[in-house]
Amino acid sequence: MTTQETPKDVIDPPLETIRFHGLKAGPKLLVLGAVHGNETCGPNAIARVIEDCRAGRVSIRRGEVTFLPVANPKAHRQNTREGDRNLNRDLRERPQPVDNEDRIGNRLSAILRQHDMLLDVHSFTQEGVPFVFFGPEDNRGDLEPFRHAAAEAAFAAALGVDLMIHGWLDIYVRLIAAREQLKLPRLAVTEGFGTTEFMRFAGGYGVTLECGRHDDPASVDVGYRAIRNVLAHVGLTDESLPAPAKRLVVHMDDLVICENEGDRLEGAGWRTGDRVAKGTPIARRADGRVVTMPRDGFIIFPNPNAKPGEGVCYLGVESERRP
């Protein structure tokens, strides 16, 4: 007896994982790609590492690694960032899921809970250097209590990219407050929760790697090397790691919010990680007022298409944290 594919099966394709088990005890690593469906460097980089594992060029000696090359199959098939909404926002378990990302989130949350650490591989639209987002220092606060800060920072530093950024949830709380002052609909703090935040909530740790521009073949190389590096770093393989290098660590601690239609970046060509001197014009309000850099620092996530309530750009300073 054969079964026919229903419209629901087409809308909600299954998640496919590939897992390699070492024959000695060790940690459990999860590697994700295509949380955003049009970011193809993750699936492509993961596919190369899977082939290396199958061909014996990479040998998982201990622990286990799970590869989930396409975390959002619907969006990936459509070649869009989202299926119904952003999977990397408000990621949590829902007893009554209502959209594609809710349904994926339920299954993905269960997969995350099965692992000790996470590498989530992404890319971005504009020109820029690769960077990695990592989490807070150890703390017992209410926003994001954590106890693996040193291990997570070392994990991030091992990926091989030169720019490391932290401070996401704290700045998201500031975005919520800024939106309230503009009388815009309130966002919940959980809207800032994605894969890495859920991983920390579940007791592990994880980082988000931004490999470069979506369609740049070099982005795949960045992701591939990062996966190989982190497999060695956590001890799943016996490969040698590159010599330690100094990383630029930036604390994201401020933002310029779009207050009205017409607010925009000032100047062209800004990229995440660009150094900006105090007093440099960075944005212009719709009424002509210029916003300048409040102190020497860095620009992060410059958004030329910001809408009211979104960040025109985020700002950072060099961090005192050292992995």
Structure token digits, residue 121: 């591989």
pLDDT at 286 (0 to 100): 97
**Could you tell me where in the chain the CATH 3.40.630.10 domains are found?**
7-245
Query: Which of 239, 234, 241 lies closest to 26, judged by CA?
Result: 234
- Phi, psi dihedrals of residue 24, rounded to the nearest 5°: -125, 160
- Give residue-wise pLDDT tens across range 178-212: 999 999 999 999 999 999 999 999 999 999 999 99
CATH code of the region 7-245: 3.40.630.10
Structure token digits, residue 20: 């390699």
pLDDT at 308 (0 to 100): 97
Counting as low any pLDDT under 70, the low residues of the chain are 1-11
CATH top class, domain 250-318: mainly beta
Residue in the structure block whose two tokens are 């349904």 = 103
- Give residue-wise pLDDT tens across range 20-61: 999 999 999 999 999 999 999 999 999 999 999 999 999 999
CA 123, 256, 313: angle at the middle one, nearest 5? 20
Residue 299 makes CB contacts below 8 A (sequence gap 6+) with 270, 271, 272, 273, 274, 276, 282, 293, 313, 314, 315, 316
pLDDT at 9 (0 to 100): 47
Per cent of the chain over pLDDT 90 is: 91
**Distance of CA 298 to CAs 6, 122, 254, 264, 274, Å?**
50, 21, 10, 18, 5
**Could you tell me where in the chain the CATH 2.40.50.100 domains are found?**
250-318
pLDDT at 11 (0 to 100): 64
List 292's β-bridge partners, or say none: 281
Query: Which of 109, 111, 152, 108 lies closest to 133, judged by CA?
Result: 152
